[in-house]
Amino acid sequence: MGLPAAVEKKVHRQAAIAIGKLLEADEKKQGGASIKTLTLAPGVVAKKATYALTCETLRYLPVLKPVLESTSQLRFSQHLRPELAYVLVYDLLFGQGLSGCAPHEKVVLACKSALRASLARLLVKHGVSSAAELLPAESQRAASTQPRYARINPLKTTLEDALRLLRSSGGAAKSAPSVEQDPLIPNLLVFPPGTDLHDHAMVKDGRLILQGKASCMPAQALHPDPSWTVIDACAAPGNKTIHLAALMGNKGKIIACDADARRLETLKKTVKKAGAKNIDARHQDFLKLDPEAPEHLKVRAILLDPSCSGSGTRLQRMDHLLPSSTERTLGESDPGTPYEPATPADRERVEKLASFQEAAVRHALRFPGLQRLVYSTCSVHRRENEDVVSAVLPTAREKGFRLAPAFPGWPHRGLPVVEGAQHLVRTDAARDQTDGFFVALFERGSGKKSAARGKADASSDISRKRVPPTEKDGRGVPAVNLEGRKEDVELEREAADVAESVERDDGLAEPDFARRAGKRKRKQADNKATGSKRDKQSRNGRGVEPEGALGESVKSARGKLATDAGKTAEGTEDTRSGNGDHSNQSASNDDLEAEPCGTARESLLRRRKAKRERKKAQQRTSQAGEAS
């Protein structure tokens, strides 16, 4: 191996431990740590050598097993665990050889001739000339052909500074001679396949986040407003959570939930390293989160990336090297199309996962202020993706949600088995040079316009609570009793207009079709208010007078209106005799009050302006009288 004897011994043991854990999890059909996690962890010595030896041993496992079974000396050895035997025999037959310094190496070297004879018989039996020809086709597909992705953390550095450091001779990683920007995800960098950045200074201090392209897509699709309260429903280990924090500029609030206490600690470390300040990490089962709790009424967006089969990350995790890979390959279709679980055990597990995923999406839709929801998985199974969306879509529509187009320029969409499949996003490991992922974006209303409407609704709700039923408007008329909901309608329109103006100032102006939709809604609100007033006038025109307290309020209001009208007329006459310009201004203001307003904002401005002009005219008339 070209390593000192002590280091070589350590590498053999580390690889054997990793293989033992991987094989145990694979046999029990359980998820678990990946090859990279086990071999590139901080405490591992000679990481690259350990990772390479682990991968190659697993790749040749279909050959090593029959060779060992036909070698009785090793098969019945009580001092050599199977996983260590696999590692040592691989290195002897296909690797760099054994030095013979460690006791276990001496045991294997003693069987060198028997092992080589066993391999020769196996090759003859299958009519091949090399062991590589015996390997399953799936194991030939290497993840090393995928680029290495890393995301710039804007909470700690800028894209320009990071690129300058990476491309400079003093700061660039030795194995990263070139770096490019990804065209789809902002701040995502693309390095050549095989680039090792784990020990890079920018990775260690949190300026550079090792995160795959597909893994960046859910947070980017959600893209919450910086002022929002957001929930990351299944947050650990936290890369998507800190991506949300970066997109929000450390503003707003992110409630990061995870039901596993150990994984939550990993999340907290990730958050601290990234410098994210707006994340509230909680040991919390998302399904037990109360949507009606006061603090959750402000939730506007949810990122839901629940537990899944992980079938889309098999190449990246090197799961295709595990023994169960052959079974899964039998069920796989051509690259780019999903495959169904091949074994009954896998199908049962996926079905349980899908049931949980459906429940999680339905729970997310219960949050009353929700505007956007992203559902994502790192699975390629239809049951966990399109079928989940199809199951929850009726509930989503009842609550005013629709499937919105995530990444409109992405060419690969959902399977045509659900309405709106053209809005869904799929990635494929072999085709797209990233992990297999699925992303669905649910929006209430019409995209970004709906976000402004959500703010407007919240503002109007608060405004209505602050307006007592007996409070009077500028004309001294009880706002609710005289004109029904006209005051509420005006408040809603004004709040919507203010929210839209803020949205435009933030550079979030919506497309023309969305603006037209908002204009239609305001017009409907105007018609509603005008219709309410017309109904009142028509009822009174037929001689039907309100009775009781309401009748007294109406009579009092009419009297005050008549008095105000008389005062205004007197002020106007006096002004005409003193200054003709004020006559024209007062007349124009009266006309403005009389004509219908297109928006609540214009209506309020015109009424206020007219009132100010009347007061000024009265003051001038009074001053002229005192002077005379």
Query: Catalytic residue among 111, 257, 308, 378, which?
Result: 378
d(C-alpha 33, C-alpha 313), whole Å: 12
The verdict on whether 55 is a catalytic residue reads no
| Token duo for residue 379 | 């699975």
- Cα dihedral sign for 120, 126, 128, 132? negative
Q: Which contacts of 455-463 are long-range, i.e. CB under 8 A and separated by 24 or more positions?
A: 455/495, 455/499, 455/502, 456/492, 456/495, 456/496, 456/498, 456/499, 457/492, 457/495, 458/369, 459/491, 459/495, 459/498, 459/499, 460/488, 460/491, 460/492, 460/495, 463/491, 463/495
245 among annotated binding-site residues = no
Q: For residue 51, which phi and psi values (nearest 5 degrees)?
A: -65, -45
**Which is it for the CA torsion 391, 310, 289, 375, positive or negative?**
negative
| Gap between the Cα atoms of 440 and 449, Å rounded | 19
DSSP label at residue 321: G
234 is in an annotated binding site: yes
CA–CA distance, 267 with 234 (Å, rounded to integer)? 10
Q: How many angstroms separate the first and last alpha carbons of the chain? A: 112
Question: 334 among the known binding-site residues?
Answer: no
Task: Answer yes or no: is 236 a known binding residue.
Answer: yes
- 613, 593 Cβ separation under 8 angstroms: no
Annotated binding residue 239 = yes
CA-derived radius of gyration, the chain? 35
Exposed e or buried b per residue across 266-303, where buried means at least 16 C-beta atoms within 10 angstroms of its C-beta: ebbebbebbbbebbebbebebeebebeeeebebbbbbb
Tell me the β-bridge partners of 427. Answer: 437
Cα-based distances in Å from 8 to 98, 133, 446, 448: 9, 28, 61, 58
In order, the DSSP letters of 419-481 are TTGGG-EEE-HHHHSS--EEEEEEEESSTHHHHHHHHHHHHHHHHHHHS-TT-B-TTS-BHHH
82 is in an annotated binding site: no
Residue 449: CB atoms within 10 A of its CB come to: 25
486 is in an annotated binding site: no
- Spatial CB neighbours of 359, under 8 Å, sequence gap ≥ 6: 287
Q: Annotation-wise, does 258 bind a ligand? A: yes
Residue 111 marked in a binding site: no
Q: Are 187 and 220 in contact (CB under 8 A)?
A: no
Report the C-alpha gap between 346 and 23 in whole angstroms.
16
In the annotated binding site for S-adenosyl-L-methionine, the residues are: 234-240, 258, 285, 305
User: What residues act catalytically?
Assistant: 378
In the annotated binding site, the residues are: 234-240, 258, 285, 305
